[in-house]
């Protein structure tokens, strides 16, 4: 009988550790609800000890998500575990995920602990976590660069003290598939009590092997994959959820395993995470890249027209790719708007719904016809939430072949409306300079991206930027049919996020 593979999603924890990502409590909750629709088994909501807002996010996710595990990360120390336990108090199925390093490199240079001390800390941590919940996961950080026998002793100590899940992280993404597979086999044959617990894997993608390693582990009996939507996470990221799930779904007969993921929610989830984190998805990314189902070569197109299976191993509809249709126009009313959102499974309520409707009307007035991609962009933009320290009131730009670009910007601040004008190397640069002189923040622009949300010359432009301020990177996004306005909105959004994180 096929074996179930549990999907432990760490988008909100390891994913959020990616440089520049800062999600508000509301944004984390939105993603958590989408992960619920996707039907992941566990949502790792955060690392509660790391900040007050992280604690708040875990608490909110824990009290709003039902019938799913909600995990909180904790180092193998008392105060982390107690804080995780508190944050998970109202969870339906709380999971404390505690960890300690197992490699000599980490123990000696970073933590200044002996192997015996690590063993004792692991045992104590798991025992303490069990006071809060029955579901305790223990991770041996840097497992793939650890002495195998010590690793097995560490896992035994965790199991003996009540761990239900043993996680094997390839923390630095160093393992190669045959080696990782052999490690999982070794653990399953040499850890006393392993048959009573779930073996989980957590692979990073530094060598581009995270999904391959996770699947190799599954073949050796691992029953849980830790992964993140769009593969986001520390450095090169985590195993990508959509890739791991679709490998299993596409090859389930050969692997003899399955997941409970509702694959038709993959595209919606990817798109929400992409928008709220500001991390773009490359067009050639497996499964969710925009070219993943486009057949360019003549011979491929010919084959596809004759029989889809010649060149297609996954149907776009399997992951929820819907063909975009023209649905609404400037005469469409509130009822049609709300109905279409429901059909697209886009959730908005109260003030957010009202704002989105007003934006839809304004856009329909400008553009005439509104398609599903436009609607999605409006809704995703509405879901984004950050405290409005600065609010764009107006902008005016002059630019051209023989004139120096100039921007005048008006921004609502805590001290009322402020205006500034600046010249620059083009309208975007001039606008950013004018905004800088209002906010007084010292920032550098690290990255700037623009893409069209849908097709056509009148498409909405979506701008994502990364700015750095005092060593910290944040991202900002903005949408508009006017790309200068989208850029200004993205910049103001980034300034608000700097204020929120400082
Ligand atoms: O990569 C890692 O080792 C981790 C652990 C905390 C599981 O993220
Ligand atoms: Zn990790």
Residue 472 Cα to ligand 1 midpoint, Å, equals: 22
Q: For residue 444, is pLDDT > 80?
A: yes
The CATH architecture of the domain made up of 3-277 is: Alpha-Beta Barrel (3.20)
Percent of the chain exceeding pLDDT 70 equals 98
- Per DSSP, 240 falls in state B
Residue 296 is predicted with a pLDDT of 66
Parts of the chain belonging to CATH 3.30.160.270: 391-501
Q: What is the rounded radius of gyration, in angstroms, for the C-alpha atoms of the chain? A: 24
3-class SS at 292? Answer: coil
Q: What is the DSSP letter of 204?
A: B
Rounded distance, CA 219 to CA 256, Å?
Answer: 9
For residue 238, the 8-state DSSP code is B
pLDDT at residue number 324: 53
Fold entry, domain 294-382: Recoverin; domain 1 (1.10.238)
- Is the pLDDT at 107 greater than 70, yes or no? yes
Residue 296 vs residue 213, higher pLDDT: 213
Does the CB atom of residue 171 touch ligand 1 within 6 A? yes
Give the Å distance between the CA of 336 and the centre of ligand 2: 44
Is the pLDDT confidence value at 295 over 80? no
* Residue nearest atom 2 of ligand 1, based on CA coordinates: 171
Q: What is the mean pLDDT of residues 296-305?
A: 72
CB atoms within 10 A of CB 299: 10
The CA distance from 91 to 89, in Å, is 6
Residue 8, pLDDT > 90, answer yes
Q: Which of 50, 166, 204 to mutate to test the pocket of ligand 1 (most atoms within 8 A of CB)?
A: 204
CB atoms within 10 A of CB 385: 16
The CATH homologous superfamily to which domain 391-501 belongs is Alpha-isopropylmalate synthase LeuA, regulatory domain (3.30.160.270)
Token duo for residue 463: 């701008």
Q: What confidence tens digit (pLDDT) does each residue in 389-431 have?
A: 999 999 999 999 989 999 999 999 988 999 999 999 999 999 9
pLDDT at 326 over 60: no
Q: What percent of the chain has pLDDT over 90?
A: 77
Q: How far is the CA of 227 from the centre of ligand 2 (A)?
A: 9
In angstroms, the CA 349 to CA 285 distance is 33
Which positions ≥6 away from 482 have C-beta within 8 Å? 461
Please, where in the chain does CATH 1.10.238 lie? Answer: 294-382
Mean pLDDT of 360-386: 86
The whole-chain average pLDDT of the chain stands at 93
Neighbouring residues of 423: CB distance < 8 A, sequence distance ≥ 6: 404, 405, 406, 430, 433
Stretch(es) of the chain classified as CATH 3.20.20.70? 3-277
Please indicate whether residue 14, judged by its CB atom, sits closer than 6 Å to ligand 1: yes
Q: Mean pLDDT throughout 34-49?
A: 98
Distance 226 CA to ligand 2 centre (A): 9
């Amino acid at each position: 009988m096929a074996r179930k593979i549990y999907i432990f999603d760490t988008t909100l924890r390891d994913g959020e550790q990616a440089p520049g990502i800062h999600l508000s409590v509301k944004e984390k909750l939105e993603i958590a609800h989408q992960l619920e629709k996707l039907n992941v088994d566990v949502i790792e909501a955060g690392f509660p000890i790391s900040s007050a807002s992280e604690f708040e996010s875990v608490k909110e996710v824990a009290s709003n998500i039902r019938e799913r595990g909600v995990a909180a990360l904790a180092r193998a120390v008392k105060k982390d575990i107690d804080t995780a336990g508190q944050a998970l108090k109202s969870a339906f199925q709380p999971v404390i995920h505690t960890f300690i390093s197992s490699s000599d490199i980490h123990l000696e240079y970073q933590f200044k602990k002996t192997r015996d001390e690590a063993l004792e800390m692991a045992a104590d941590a798991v025992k303490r976590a069990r006071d809060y919940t029955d579901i305790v996961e223990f991770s041996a950080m840097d497992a793939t660069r650890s002495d195998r026998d010590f690793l097995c002793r560490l896992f035994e100590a965790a199991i003996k003290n009540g761990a239900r899940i043993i996680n094997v992280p390839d923390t630095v993404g160093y393992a190669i598939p045959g080696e990782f597979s052999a490690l999982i086999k070794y653990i399953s044959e040499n850890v006393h009590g392993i048959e009573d617990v779930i073996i989980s894997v957590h692979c990073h993608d530094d060598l581009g092997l995270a999904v391959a390693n996770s699947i190799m582990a599954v073949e050796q009996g691992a029953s849980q994959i830790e992964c993140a939507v769009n593969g986001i996470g520390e450095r090169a990221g985590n195993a990508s959820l959509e890739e791991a799930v679709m490998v299993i779904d596409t090859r389930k007969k050969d692997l003899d395993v399955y997941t409970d993921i509702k694959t038709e929610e993959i595209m919606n989830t990817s798109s929400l995470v992409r928008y709220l984190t500001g991390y773009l998805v490359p067009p050639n990314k497996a499964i969710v890249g925009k070219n993943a189902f486009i057949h360019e070569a003549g011979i491929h197109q010919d084959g596809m027209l004759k029989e889809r299976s010649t060149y297609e191993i996954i149907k776009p509809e399997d992951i929820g790719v819907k063909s975009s249709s023209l649905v609404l126009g400037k005469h469409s009313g509130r009822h049609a708007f709300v109905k279409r959102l429901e059909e697209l499974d886009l959730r908005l309520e109260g003030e957010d719904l009202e704002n989105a409707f007003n934006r839809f009307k304004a856009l329909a007035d400008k553009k005439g016809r509104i398609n599903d991609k436009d609607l999605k962009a409006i809704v995703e933009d509405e879901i984004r939430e950050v405290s409005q320290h600065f609010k764009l009131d107006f902008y005016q730009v002059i630019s051209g072949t023989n004139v120096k670009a100039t921007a005048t910007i008006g921004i609502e601040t805590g001290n009322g409306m402020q205006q500034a004008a600046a010249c620059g190397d083009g309208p975007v640069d001039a606008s950013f300079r004018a905004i800088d002189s209002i906010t007084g923040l010292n920032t550098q622009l690290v990255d700037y991206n623009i893409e069209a949300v849908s097709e056509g010359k009148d498409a909405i432009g979506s701008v994502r930027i990364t700015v750095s301020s005092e060593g910290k990177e944040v991202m900002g996004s903005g949408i508009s049919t006017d790309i200068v306005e989208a850029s200004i909105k993205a910049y103001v959004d980034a300034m608000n996020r700097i204020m929120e994180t400082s």
